[in-house]
Homo-oligomer: A and B are copies of this chain.
């Protein structure tokens, strides 16, 4: 089954908003066993929308458009698609009653502009909008039910010859995420289940850290090869400080195949795997600390508060996170973390002994079970031959003492901070998993 998404909106083409529909719909559809084969974004102008829909009709079994169903002058999708397919727009009393009710419940007069939202292409199904006014629309399309491009002003070079298609569905959804998402889940999904036989589809992601993308593949590719021959899909995705291994499969044996693949990756990459699917390292760390009833404090120089910020991004972090010190100036290291000035002088700010004292000081002052400390050179300035930009010392203090690791993270400043925070949190995750 071939699924295509068409996102309309001039603000998308100007790069003023992020297209979150793409990810959301692709993910929902993949989880239903329908991997989207193509997504297109275009401005909300007549020729662009009609051309995109026309092209999609030559390929797809299911087409989902987003946006352009509202009441303002740049909302053209309903009209343009009805025109393209040669369908009249008919006023729906049911939709009108729903919209009247929407405004009545809010004790506001219904704006006249919402009239356009009450029109439905002949023969179409509609989805009443539970969180807004414009209904979603679904059209069953059979061969011969649309006009050719020259009839609607598209130049001949973009006319396509349609293969004889089986039945296709074209679904139009409103643009606002708070309207689109519940409508998809509660109204489109039942239609898909009714019209398209469910294919079994499984996707499982193993999230690793500490190895580069090419190294990850070198390590697992040979082991997975026999499963790939049997239909397993394998993908790799690099992020700052992490590499995802994604295993996918379709059909009856998919779950078993993906499970078998995951076991192989687990065996080979073992302790480099910090989580699965949507897990973030900081969420895993917070969860482990909570389960073990342990607390954490941080002492940050070069990461400048990012480590604390990532930990506190996790809801419920306050149960385990006591706090942190961003000791950018040396005087702050001495005052808040009891780092000795003699240590700073003798070894320099970016050194193993300073990292060690920062971690011990943070653990003592906060009274936490664990403390992580980071000192390094983020750049772009501040490096030397002996300690180039990217040099980092990470220290981890616990009831069992303190240990220090050295890293060389040669990245731009923002990536350096992310990678270093990931290394520090990952170390703690490993200790908590041991």
Residues of A within 8 A of B (CB): 9-20, 22-30, 35-43, 48, 52, 55, 58-59, 70-74, 105-108, 111-114, 131, 157-158, 160-163, 175-176, 178, 182, 203, 205, 212-215, 217-218, 221, 233-240, 244, 246, 248, 298, 300, 303-309, 311-313, 315-318, 321-329, 331-332, 335-336, 365-367, 378-382, 388, 408, 410-415, 417
Contacts of A332 in B (CB 8 A): 322-323, 366
Pair B325/A215 contact, Cβ less than 8 Å: no
Pair A12/B26 contact, Cβ less than 8 Å: yes
Contacts of A107 in B (CB 8 A): 408
Knowing A308-B305, A312-B305 are in contact, say whether A36-B13 is a contact too (CB < 8 A): yes
Number of copies: 2
**Min distance, Cβ A335 to any Cβ of chain B, angstroms:** 6
**Min distance, Cβ A114 to any Cβ of chain B, angstroms:** 6
Knowing A11-B246, A246-B11 are in contact, say whether A298-B322 is a contact too (CB < 8 A): no
Pair A415/B178 contact, Cβ less than 8 Å: yes
Bound together, the chains give a CA A382 to CA B328 distance in angstroms of 31
Which among A58, A366, A408 has the greatest number of chain B C-beta atoms within 10 A? A366
Pair B413/A315 contact, Cβ less than 8 Å: yes
**Min distance, Cβ A5 to any Cβ of chain B, angstroms:** 9
Pair A411/B325 contact, Cβ less than 8 Å: no
Residue ID in chain B nearest A44 by CB atoms: B235
Can you list the 7 inter-chain pairs with the closest CB atoms, starting with the nearest? Answer: A15-B27, A304-B312, A305-B308, A15-B26, A305-B305, A323-B332, A305-B309
Residue ID in chain B nearest A162 by CB atoms: B157
Pair B336/A312 contact, Cβ less than 8 Å: no
Q: A13-B36, A58-B158, A321-B328 are in contact. List 19 more A-B contacts (CB 8 A).
A: A10-B235, A10-B246, A12-B22, A15-B24, A15-B30, A16-B203, A19-B23, A71-B217, A72-B236, A105-B388, A111-B212, A113-B214, A113-B217, A131-B412, A300-B305, A313-B414, A323-B332, A329-B366, A336-B365
